[in-house]
Amino acid sequence: MKSGFVVLAGRSNVGKSTLLNALVGSKVAIVTPKPQTTRRPVRGILHDARGQIVFVDTPGIFMGKKDPLSRRLNDIVREQLDGIDAIVYVMDPTRKPGPEEETIQRLLRKLTTPIIVFVNKNDLPDEEARFRTEVRATDIGQRMMVEGSAATHQHIQKLTDALFALLPEGEAYYPEKQLTDMSNTEWLGELIREKVFLHLREEIPYSTHVEVTDVQKRGDTQYVAATIWTTEDRYKGMIIGTKAQMLKSIGADARKELEMATNQNAFLDLIVDVDPKWQQRFT
Ligand SMILES: Nc1nc2c(ncn2[C@@H]2O[C@H](COP(=O)(O)OP(=O)(O)O)[C@@H](O)[C@H]2O)c(=O)[nH]1
Ligand SMILES: [Mg+2]
């Protein structure tokens, strides 16, 4: 069998997490329209008759950001590039390739690891994907360029085939049914965090961390208790909302998705708490 590690690289918001989910065939990573949602590299495992591919979704590269969290994320991205078998460099034709793209390409050109460029969001019309021509002209010494869509699963198979062709023979890294390296608790926390990102504006979601404190089976219901940590009292108020409407919406969305994913009833017990220093405890 074939096996190997493949890193998904690219700017924030190009669709790396969406692509990871498409490749694995299950929702492993959270996806939001906001940049820098992914906070730690998430692994998603593709099992196939040909072998196994471990995909690593990276948080993207944060240019010019000097805060400890961004710095740490940049270090993580560099560490991820060691000892891997191939890179899928994801590009977004709806945004102009700027200095950030150049920084990433400079980094990738230096590597000897085989690269496949995946031009994503091919489902969008030319009016929206205005930079297709520029993106198609990308030359970083890649083995191949595939145009497709992570959202509609267009040409995902083509990408998978190209990767299997590149990968060495090897043993399986994960048991056959395992789709991610995240624990169930971590995944539940990520699911709730995704809803926080989808419901709240501007900087508030970035000030939050979700800690799952209890998971229990109660009859045929999965009971999940979690704390949404934020850095300031005024954020706490906004996350809870008037008459707790915001928190209820976040909880309802997370519960619905959890019920869909697990095919059983779920009950979410969410509280919001303030800790200006949560970053030191959880990252
Ligand atoms: N139209 C379209 N949107 C996409 C596609 N892939 C991702 N997106 C959207 O782009 C945004 C960022 O996606 P995400 O996977 O979180 O990007 P990441 O930051 O690179 O991980 C989300 O709103 C996605 O729904 C695609 O193939 N087509
Ligand atoms: Mg992501």
Span from the CA of 23 to the centroid of ligand 2 (angstroms): 14
pLDDT digits (tens, 9 = 90+) for 96-154: 988 888 888 988 888 888 999 999 999 999 999 999 999 999 999 999 999 999 999 99
Judge whether residue 78 has pLDDT over 70. Answer: no
| Nearest alpha carbon, ligand 1 atom 1 | 121
- pLDDT score at 61: 55
Residues 29, 143: one domain?
Answer: yes
Span from the CA of 224 to the centroid of ligand 1 (angstroms): 28
Which of the four pLDDT bands, split at 50, 70 and 90, describes residue 211?
A: very high
| Nearest alpha carbon, ligand 1 atom 12 | 13
* Calpha distance 159→139 (Å, rounded): 18
The answer to whether position 179 is within a domain reads no
Domain count, the chain: 2
32 lines ligand 1 (CB under 6 A): yes
Residues 133, 219: one domain?
Answer: no
> Nearest 5°: CA angle at 96, between 90 and 99?
85
Q: Which of 137, 166, 195 is the last residue of a domain?
A: 166
Q: What is the mean pLDDT of residues 164-173?
A: 94
Residues 33, 106: one domain?
Answer: yes
21 lines ligand 1 (CB under 6 A): no
Of 10-14, 92-96, 240-244, minimum mean pLDDT range: 10-14
Contacts of 106 (CB under 8 A, 6+ apart): none
List beta partners, residue 57: 8, 42
Residues 81, 211: one domain?
Answer: no
- Other Cβ atoms closer than 10 A to 53: 24
Burial class (CB in 10 A: 0-12, 13-18, 19+), 103: middle
Write the CATH number for 54. Answer: 3.40.50.300
pLDDT digits (tens, 9 = 90+) for 50-72: 999 999 987 765 555 566 666 66
Domain that residue 52 falls in: 2-166
- Scored b (16 or more CB within 10 A) or e, 162-194 reads bbbebbeeeeeeeeeeebbbbeeeebbbbbbbb
